[in-house]
Structure 1
């Protein structure tokens, strides 16, 4: 029975420095993950723009052939279609750029909130999950008391770009 109790001992024997190093490593990993997601989003955006441009060229070429082969009315229709395609490409490009920018901003907010939590001795950046979407930060995990829960909200609200904080932290004495 004694061996069973010893195996269940979940006390974290790491030093404060080790815990801080671990929190910093987690924050750096979140920033690296954000960078990778940003690069992927930028690549996807580039491919989408290239595909849209190619499609627009194909559509424009087809429209031009139709215009030469038919009457002035068909030519007008082709120009209108080409314009619509161009507008759609511009709109798609703007949307992709906006989505990529939002992803980068959200990842940066998450990293800054994690860093702020890591600096507070009453909060565990390793146990608190930070998720950001469109500037809305959601905090999830255990905290020791109501003061620590409120402090986590204050830290998140203090980060630039945060529009709202949803605090789903659970008070768990001994956390």
Structure 2
């Protein structure tokens, strides 16, 4: 019988494939620093899960910080609106009084404290301006700086 080179190469090819398979299987169970490849993968997964958990906690903390900052900002804006409302009401009420000139009286409000500046025709009119300002809801006190200047 005549054997060809192809038939002789088959056992060599089979041997080479077997060695490659054996090396691949050995590599799967190879230890690196005392860990198998499977253990290394498990360790990597655990680290990834921990990093995701840490990132989630950081996001929760950032969200809480943002909520606190938002509440502070809305309180500040609310106070500004309240002060503006108080100023407008005091000015409007002063304008309705025939003895006081709302155009000449400057009304400023800061944290519910109303400051009045400008002229008043009499001491009684100056006192009346204080009473009018105190009668507005939200006014905590009045700093009356009106100057009595008879006309």
TM-score bracket for this pair, using the shorter chain length:
0.5 to 0.7
**Are residue 127 (structure 1) and residue 66 (structure 2) matched?**
no
Structure number with bigger Rg: 2
**Are residue 96 (structure 1) and residue 87 (structure 2) matched?**
no
**Are residue 159 (structure 1) and residue 130 (structure 2) matched?**
no
2:107 counterpart SS class:
strand
Q: Which runs of 5+ in 1 are unaligned?
A: 1-67
Name the structure 2 match of 1:87: 64
**Are residue 139 (structure 1) and residue 116 (structure 2) matched?**
yes
Deviation at 1:116, TM superposition (A): 0.8
1:106 alignment partner, one of 68, 72, 83: 83
Query: Which of 1 and 2 has higher RCO (CA within 8 Å, sep 6+)?
Result: 1
**Moved segments of 4+, more than 3 Å:** 68-77
Per-residue deviation, residues 44-90 of structure 1 (Å, max 9, x unmatched): xxxxxxxxxxxxxxxxxxxxxxxx89455544432332122101110
Per-residue deviation, residues 113-172 of structure 1 (Å, max 9, x unmatched): 011101111111000000112211111111112111111000000001111111111111
More helix by share: 1
TM-score normalized by structure 2?
A: 0.64
Name the structure 2 match of 1:42: none
1:126 counterpart SS class:
coil
1:142–1:69: structure 2 CA closer, same or farther, 3 Å change rule?
farther
The CA distance in 1 between the partners of 2:46 and 2:113, in whole Å, is 55
1:162 counterpart SS class:
coil
Name the structure 2 match of 1:148: 125
More strand by share: 2
RMSD: 1.9
The CA distance in 1 between the partners of 2:147 and 2:46, in whole Å, is 71
Between the two proteins, the alignment pairs up a number of residues equal to: 107
Q: Which runs of 5+ in 2 are unaligned?
A: 1-44
Deviation at 1:173, TM superposition (A): 1.8
